[in-house]
Amino acid sequence: MLQTTIKNFTQNPKNDILSGLTVALALVPEAVAFAFVAGVDPLVGLYGAFMMGIITALFGGRPGMISGATGAMAVVMVHLIQKGNEAGLALDQPIENLGLQWLFITLLFVGGIQILAGVLRLGKFVRLIPHPVMMGFVNGLAIVIFLSQLGLFPKIASEGISFWGNTREWFSALFSNSDFWLMMGLVGLTMAIMFLLPKLTKKIPAALTAIIVVAAIVIFGGIDVSTVGSFIRDGGGQGLQGGLPTFQDQIFTLFHTVKGHFLPTILPTAFILAAIGLIESLMTLSLIDEMTETRGSGNRECVAQGGANIINGLFGGMGGCAMIGQSIINVNSGGRGRLSGTIAAVALLCFVLFGAPLIEQIPIAALVGVMFMVVIGTFAWSSFRILNKIPKSDAFVLIAVSAITVWQDLAVAVIAGVIMSALTFAWKNATKIRARKRIKEDGTKVYEIWGPLFFGSTQTFNSKFDIKNDPKNVEIDFIESRVSDHSGVEALRNIANKYIAEGKKVTLTHLSPDCKNLLLKWNPEFDTIIQSNVDDPRYYVVTDVMDNEV
């Protein structure tokens, strides 16, 4: 593992360093915003992003992928924190911010679950996610990123004036809102630089250049716009300054929370957070795999994510998972090695500890412009072109996953998409089973089964046989079929028993070895009706060598 880590550390130091710095700048407002969503201090989100970023960059399964505090996990954390605070106030000796301490303890369980998933090699299951689900996930996430940036714009109209109820007043406020149009101009300038600069030269990272240029215009031009510093203070924070949290309070709280029977709340939340984190991370890993035409290790990423969340729980960070927006910024800026993620994490920590006054002056508009370009690059625009060319079921899944990602969250959307795809696949294959019938010279009736026999096709399979009117000798041939699950074995056993009950001889030919074994376990007497042919097909199990990845 150490040799692989060193090999993937960097291939282009300049690109990795510059892209890492760009990502670090983009991480600041995202971590702060998600901390507000979770209801914690911005420093908790920033330190959480640093710890997630540095550990996964060095030990994760996907060089170039960026991890940090994320909104998908933040929306779950906020409920836990609220319950913890309520529990703290209900104690005889109230514990202040008990909800935050509950979060730290929960992250220990989250990390343990994720490490266990990696050890059990569950990361490979991300390969079972169908392509329409992947496209729906990408489109939905692009929309979520876009919508999250809209909240950073100045309010267009005052309270009580809505677009639908007061249309004329709303447009009047829009056209006279100089702050809104000033931010729009700076966002547009950022996007224009990022679009045009790569056409002139690709040696300079466009995103970092755009941020520096727009920040210089604002700072030296004395333009009064929302900055990173004002954004944090407006949300109730004190800026980017402070010290690293320690874990003495967590140990103290662990005693009190165990004593206070917190497990019924913590454990279910830990499983939800672990699932969301793994799904989002593994989906992002697959997306970066496609963009870079390389292969990452899902199982190794699970272990690294789990370790990072445990460290967050011990040292007072928010925790998190992979961040698709920042990962795409990194890859598009040339960051392909572990050095890029390491630089991003270390730079983020340096911003907080040493460069806070300077970073706080960066206009939010520049960072919004960068994220808008990420949205444009993330959205699968080809999905509009192929919607009328792919099966209607796949088109429905793609649209549904996109909508659910926006409406609920990523984990729910992916799980729903996989279920819909699986049911669609089962329904289609349930209708494909056929039985060709012929009579041999000796009078034996042969049923040549074609198609998969599984839970969805058992009813159709049963309808193919005419048990009462069939001759004394019947042969069921599976040379073009395969019994896929227990339901299929049970259906075959029932058919054979019905023929035997009618006093007829039934022979099963060309069964796969696993099906033979299952039938014999149910009824050893089936050995007399299972025929072993020299021309039996050979069934191979395809072993994915990537499952042995480190």
Distance CA 29, CA 226 (A): 12
Q: Is 201 found in the same domain as 323?
A: yes
**Looking at 365, 396, 429, which one is the last position of a domain?**
429
Q: What is the domain-level CATH number for residue 473?
A: 3.30.750.24
Q: Is the pLDDT of residue 255 over 70?
A: no
User: Among residues 310, 345, 380, which one ends one of the domains?
Assistant: 380
- Interhelix angle 248-259/98-119, rounded to 10 degrees, is 90
For the chain, helix (H) and strand (E) counts, in that order, are 23, 7
391 lies in the same domain as 277:
no
- Asked whether residue 539 is domain-assigned, the answer is no
Q: What is the pLDDT of residues 192-236, one digit of tens each?
A: 998 998 888 877 778 878 888 999 999 998 888 888 878 777 765
Instruction: Report pLDDT digits (tens) over 4-32.
Output: 555 678 878 888 999 999 888 878 877 87
Domain for residue 537, yes or no?
Answer: no
* 311 and 238 co-located in one domain: yes
Total domains present in the chain = 3
173-181 long-range contacts (CB < 8 A, ≥24 apart) are 179/154, 179/225, 180/153, 180/154, 180/156
Query: Is 88 within 8 Å of 97 (Cβ atoms)?
Result: yes
Residues 196 and 80 in one domain: yes
Number of neighbours of residue 518 by Cβ within 10 angstroms: 20
Task: Give the confidence band of 257 by pLDDT, cuts at 50, 70, 90.
Answer: low
25 domain residue, yes or no: yes
Contact present, 81 and 293 (Cβ < 8 Å) = no
Q: How far is CA 307 from CA 113, 118, 320, in A?
A: 10, 11, 11
Same domain, 258 and 269: yes
Whether residue 497 is predicted with pLDDT greater than 60 in this model: the reply is: yes
Q: What is the pLDDT of residues 294-344, one digit of tens each?
A: 888 889 999 999 999 999 988 888 999 998 888 988 998 888 899 999 999
For residue 7, the model assigns a pLDDT of 60
Q: How many CB atoms lie within 10 A of CB 5?
A: 15
Are 507 and 425 found together in one domain?
A: no
Indicate whether 414 and 495 sit together in one domain: no
What pLDDT was estimated at residue 542?
40
Whether 358 and 407 map to the same domain: the answer is: no
Position 304 scores a pLDDT of: 95
- 215 part of a folded domain: yes
8 within domain boundaries? no
The answer to whether residue 1 is domain-embedded is no
- Domain extent for 139: 13-154+178-380
478 and 346 share one domain:
no
Decide if pLDDT at 474 tops 70.
Answer: yes
Q: Are residues 191 and 127 in the same domain?
A: yes
Instruction: Tell me: do 497 and 394 sit in the same domain.
Output: no
Q: How confident is the model at residue 540 (pLDDT cuts 50, 70, 90)?
A: very low
Look at residue 540 and tell me if it is in a domain.
Answer: no
Look at residue 411 and tell me if it is in a domain.
Answer: yes
Per-chain mean pLDDT for the chain: 82
Asked if 400 and 273 sit in the same domain, the reply is no
Q: Are 215 and 189 in contact (CB under 8 A)?
A: no
